Amino acid sequence: MPKEMVKYGVTGKNLQLLQDVGGVFRPGVLTALMGITGAGNTTLLDVLARRKTGGHIEGTIRIAGYPKKQEIFSRISGYCEQSDIHSPNLTVYESLQFSAWLRLPSNVKSRQRHMLIEEVVDLVELTGLKNSMVGLAGTTGLSAKQRKRLTIAVELVASPSIIFMDEPTTGLDARAAAIVMRTVRKIGDTGRTVVCTIHQPSIEIFEAFDELVLMKRGGQIIYSGSLGPLSENMIKYFQAIPGVPIIKEGQNPAAWVLNITSQSAEYEIGVDYAQIYRNSSLYINNMLLIDELGKAAPNTEDLKFPSGYWQDFRAQCMVCLWRQIYAYWKNPEHNLVRFLNTLVLSIMFGIVFWKIGSTIKQQQDIFNILGVVYGSSLFLGFMNCTILQPVV
């Protein structure tokens, strides 16, 4: 890890994220946000990451005992969206280089940036593909699981202390999901906090998590704590509730807990899981932990960063220009079509209006020339925009 990362406190070892809806997120662990459809786990993830702009938001978030400031929090956090959006005409290494160039401090040298990118590429198991083109999803280039790992890597090169992931296994088969979760597990082992929303995971994926925040419809917490070996802590908690059916041998704990906490199952058993959780010792311990971690430790200061972006305006322009040149250079078909389009239209307009300016006898001839200039420029511009639209 470059010394500059340590200097600015973004090594992942000094971040405590608390959200006073009952969930506790601890550094260096993998936490799952899970619930039935409509429970609000994605909404909670977006609120924590400050990605939710609509609606009414209540509660407080503290980092190391200090109130969260979004301009500071955005420097030490990463967010992996459910969809993988990448420039198809860049290689894996160039995509990471673009992200690192913009998101790392300006005093990080080129050699250190290269070392960090190499570490990240190795961590997400893309070493053999770092010179491969990203390509278009589902047609060329990287497969779905490789694109998902690239999405994670793009956030990792910024060296965040906490990473939010919105359903990282969506659209992947069992083997691909297992590979992605193995990568996520390795990220958690580096000391970073990883918070994922997950939907109907397999046994292997579910037991890769350290802690679980389980929600029911309406956004109410019904379990927030460690899973334990083979999910035994969660299983013991729910099986201690009268009327809850016992988990069958070999049954997926994730599927079992989603079944017993559904709205119909809750009505059939006649319990309110949210109320049971609020009356449990687990909830009391979580509140005590929140109170403890919600206070700043002695002789510590709030995180501070220079105002503005890491890179100045000139550097940002140079980085974006660099990426654009590389993207166009590696898309010869697009450039060839635009070149031929311009050439053909120029020849066509030249033939139709051949020597129109050589005989000017009246005012209408001037208007005709102006019309040709206006029409040809406008037509050529629209044609180029039409060709460019699929690329953009």
Helix axis angle for 144-156 and 110-123, nearest 10°, is 140
Q: When comparing pLDDT for 358 and 75, which is higher?
A: 75
**pLDDT tens track for 90-113:** 999 999 999 999 888 888 888 988
Burial 128-158 (b: 16+ CB within 10 A, else e): ebbeebbbebeeebbebbbbbbbbbbbbbbb
In the structure, what pLDDT confidence band is assigned to residue 20 with cuts at 50, 70 and 90? Answer: very low
Predicted pLDDT of residue 185: 87
**Residue type at 181?**
M
**Residue type at 132?**
S
Asked whether residue 134 carries a pLDDT value surpassing 80, the answer given is yes
Rounded mean pLDDT of 242-251?
A: 90
In the structure, what pLDDT confidence band is assigned to residue 27 with cuts at 50, 70 and 90? Answer: low
Q: Is the dihedral of CA 308, 314, 317, 319 positive or negative?
A: negative
Asked whether residue 47 carries a pLDDT value surpassing 90, the answer given is no
Q: What percent of the chain has pLDDT over 90?
A: 22
Predicted pLDDT of residue 318: 92
Predicted pLDDT of residue 4: 31
Return the structure tokens found at 385. 């925009």
Q: When comparing pLDDT for 226 and 61, which is higher?
A: 226
3-293: in CATH 3.40.640.10: no
pTM score: 0.78
Burial of 266 (0-12, 13-18, 19+ CB in 10 A): middle
Mean pLDDT check: name the lowest of 17-31, 124-138, 310-324.
17-31
Asked whether residue 22 carries a pLDDT value surpassing 70, the answer given is no
Helix axis angle for 313-329 and 92-103, nearest 10°, is 170
Q: When comparing pLDDT for 359 and 323, which is higher?
A: 323
CB 142 within 8 A of CB 132: yes
Distance CA 17, CA 78 (A): 14
**pLDDT tens track for 326-336:** 888 888 888 88
